[in-house]
Protein backbone atom coordinates (compact mmCIF):
# COMPACT_ATOMS: atom_id res chain seq x y z
CA UNK A 1 0.00 0.00 0.00
CA UNK A 2 1.40 3.37 -0.97
CA UNK A 3 1.98 6.12 1.57
CA UNK A 4 -0.82 8.21 0.04
CA UNK A 5 -3.32 5.38 0.51
CA UNK A 6 -2.17 4.82 4.10
CA UNK A 7 -2.53 8.52 4.85
CA UNK A 8 -6.06 8.61 3.41
CA UNK A 9 -7.09 5.60 5.52
CA UNK A 10 -5.63 7.17 8.65
CA UNK A 11 -7.34 10.49 7.84
CA UNK A 12 -10.71 8.73 7.66
CA UNK A 13 -10.05 7.08 11.03
CA UNK A 14 -8.96 10.39 12.57
CA UNK A 15 -12.07 12.12 11.26
CA UNK A 16 -14.30 9.41 12.71
CA UNK A 17 -12.46 9.63 16.05
CA UNK A 18 -12.55 13.46 15.94
CA UNK A 19 -8.78 13.47 16.60
CA UNK A 20 -7.83 16.99 15.50
CA UNK A 21 -4.10 16.67 16.21
CA UNK A 22 -3.79 13.48 14.15
CA UNK A 23 -5.91 14.98 11.39
CA UNK A 24 -3.71 18.08 11.25
CA UNK A 25 -0.53 15.97 11.02
CA UNK A 26 -2.01 13.69 8.35
CA UNK A 27 -3.18 16.66 6.30
CA UNK A 28 0.33 18.10 6.48
CA UNK A 29 1.75 14.83 5.13
CA UNK A 30 -0.84 14.71 2.34
CA UNK A 31 -0.09 18.33 1.43
CA UNK A 32 3.66 17.68 1.32
CA UNK A 33 3.12 14.61 -0.89
CA UNK A 34 0.94 16.58 -3.30
CA UNK A 35 3.48 19.41 -3.46
CA UNK A 36 6.30 16.94 -4.16
CA UNK A 37 4.28 15.24 -6.89
CA UNK A 38 3.41 18.50 -8.64
CA UNK A 39 6.92 19.96 -8.65
CA UNK A 40 8.23 20.53 -12.13
CA UNK A 41 9.67 17.34 -13.55
CA UNK A 42 8.40 15.20 -10.69
CA UNK A 43 7.06 11.73 -11.33
CA UNK A 44 3.43 10.85 -10.65
CA UNK A 45 4.36 8.54 -7.74
CA UNK A 46 7.10 9.25 -5.23
CA UNK A 47 9.70 6.59 -4.60
CA UNK A 48 9.85 5.11 -1.10
CA UNK A 49 13.16 6.94 -0.51
CA UNK A 50 11.52 10.25 -1.41
CA UNK A 51 8.61 9.48 0.90
CA UNK A 52 10.98 8.76 3.80
CA UNK A 53 12.91 11.99 3.17
CA UNK A 54 9.66 13.94 3.04
CA UNK A 55 8.45 12.45 6.33
CA UNK A 56 11.82 13.07 7.99
CA UNK A 57 11.68 16.71 6.90
CA UNK A 58 8.20 17.08 8.41
CA UNK A 59 9.36 15.52 11.69
CA UNK A 60 12.42 17.78 11.81
CA UNK A 61 10.30 20.89 11.20
CA UNK A 62 7.98 20.00 14.06
CA UNK A 63 10.81 19.15 16.44
CA UNK A 64 12.51 22.45 15.65
CA UNK A 65 9.27 24.34 16.22
CA UNK A 66 8.68 22.53 19.51
CA UNK A 67 12.22 23.39 20.65
CA UNK A 68 11.66 27.07 19.88
CA UNK A 69 8.32 27.06 21.69
CA UNK A 70 9.90 25.35 24.70
CA UNK A 71 12.70 27.95 24.80
CA UNK A 72 10.05 30.65 24.90
CA UNK A 73 8.13 28.87 27.70
CA UNK A 74 5.18 28.13 25.41
CA UNK A 75 4.40 24.54 26.36
CA UNK A 76 0.85 25.06 25.06
CA UNK A 77 2.28 25.39 21.53
CA UNK A 78 5.06 22.80 21.90
CA UNK A 79 2.78 19.92 22.94
CA UNK A 80 0.71 19.76 19.71
CA UNK A 81 3.93 19.86 17.65
CA UNK A 82 5.36 16.89 19.57
CA UNK A 83 2.04 15.04 19.25
CA UNK A 84 2.23 15.52 15.48
CA UNK A 85 5.81 14.20 15.51
CA UNK A 86 4.58 10.97 17.12
CA UNK A 87 1.89 10.57 14.45
CA UNK A 88 4.22 11.26 11.52
CA UNK A 89 6.88 8.88 12.90
CA UNK A 90 4.38 5.99 12.60
CA UNK A 91 4.96 6.12 8.84
CA UNK A 92 8.77 6.12 9.08
CA UNK A 93 10.91 2.98 9.28
CA UNK A 94 12.04 2.03 12.78
CA UNK A 95 14.68 4.47 14.01
CA UNK A 96 18.02 3.16 15.25
CA UNK A 97 19.18 3.93 18.77
CA UNK A 98 22.27 6.12 19.27
CA UNK A 99 24.32 3.03 20.19
CA UNK A 100 23.29 1.29 16.95
CA UNK A 101 24.11 4.39 14.90
CA UNK A 102 27.48 4.67 16.66
CA UNK A 103 28.25 1.02 15.84
CA UNK A 104 27.33 1.52 12.17
CA UNK A 105 29.38 4.74 11.88
CA UNK A 106 32.38 3.10 13.60
CA UNK A 107 32.17 0.25 11.07
CA UNK A 108 32.07 2.74 8.16
CA UNK A 109 35.12 4.59 9.57
CA UNK A 110 37.04 1.33 10.05
CA UNK A 111 36.20 -0.03 6.58
CA UNK A 112 37.09 3.23 4.86
CA UNK A 113 40.24 3.83 6.91
CA UNK A 114 39.09 7.37 7.71
CA UNK A 115 40.77 9.44 10.41
CA UNK A 116 40.68 13.05 11.55
CA UNK A 117 38.09 15.74 11.04
CA UNK A 118 39.25 16.25 7.44
CA UNK A 119 37.44 13.02 6.54
CA UNK A 120 34.13 14.10 8.07
CA UNK A 121 32.48 14.87 4.74
CA UNK A 122 33.35 11.47 3.31
CA UNK A 123 32.18 9.66 6.45
CA UNK A 124 28.95 11.71 6.59
CA UNK A 125 28.20 10.87 2.95
CA UNK A 126 28.70 7.15 3.46
CA UNK A 127 26.87 7.12 6.81
CA UNK A 128 23.93 9.15 5.53
CA UNK A 129 23.54 6.80 2.59
CA UNK A 130 23.84 3.66 4.73
CA UNK A 131 21.50 4.88 7.48
CA UNK A 132 18.96 6.70 5.28
CA UNK A 133 15.57 6.71 6.96
CA UNK A 134 16.87 5.00 10.08
CA UNK A 135 18.52 7.97 11.80
CA UNK A 136 18.36 11.73 11.43
CA UNK A 137 21.30 13.71 10.07
CA UNK A 138 21.91 15.58 13.31
CA UNK A 139 22.42 12.37 15.29
CA UNK A 140 24.71 10.95 12.60
CA UNK A 141 26.72 14.19 12.49
CA UNK A 142 27.21 14.30 16.27
CA UNK A 143 28.40 10.69 16.36
CA UNK A 144 30.76 11.18 13.38
CA UNK A 145 32.29 14.23 15.08
CA UNK A 146 32.72 12.29 18.32
CA UNK A 147 34.37 9.31 16.62
CA UNK A 148 36.67 11.34 14.37
CA UNK A 149 37.81 13.78 17.08
User: Is the CA virtual torsion 102, 107, 112, 114 positive or negative?
Assistant: positive
* Residue 98 banded pLDDT, cuts 50, 70, 90: confident
The whole-number pLDDT of residue 43 equals 64
* Nearest-angstrom CA–CA distance, 54 and 56: 5
Number of other CB atoms surrounding residue 117 within 10 Å: 11
Find, among 93, 85, 94, the residue nearest to 22 by Cα: 85
- Phi, psi torsion values for 115, nearest 5 degrees: -155, 145
* Nearest-angstrom CA–CA distance, 26 and 32: 10
* Nearest-angstrom CA–CA distance, 114 and 99: 20
Q: pLDDT for 43-93, tens place per residue?
A: 667 788 888 888 989 999 999 999 999 999 999 999 999 999 999 989 988
- Percent over 70 (pLDDT), the chain: 96
DSSP 93: P
Residue 133 has pLDDT above 80, yes or no: no
Residue 30 has pLDDT above 80, yes or no: yes
User: Is the CA virtual torsion 49, 2, 92, 102 positive or negative?
Assistant: negative
Amino acid sequence: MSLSAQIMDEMKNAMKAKDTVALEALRAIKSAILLAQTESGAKEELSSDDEVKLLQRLVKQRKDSAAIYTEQNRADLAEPELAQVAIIEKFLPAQLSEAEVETAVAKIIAEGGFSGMAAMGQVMGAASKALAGQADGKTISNIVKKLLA
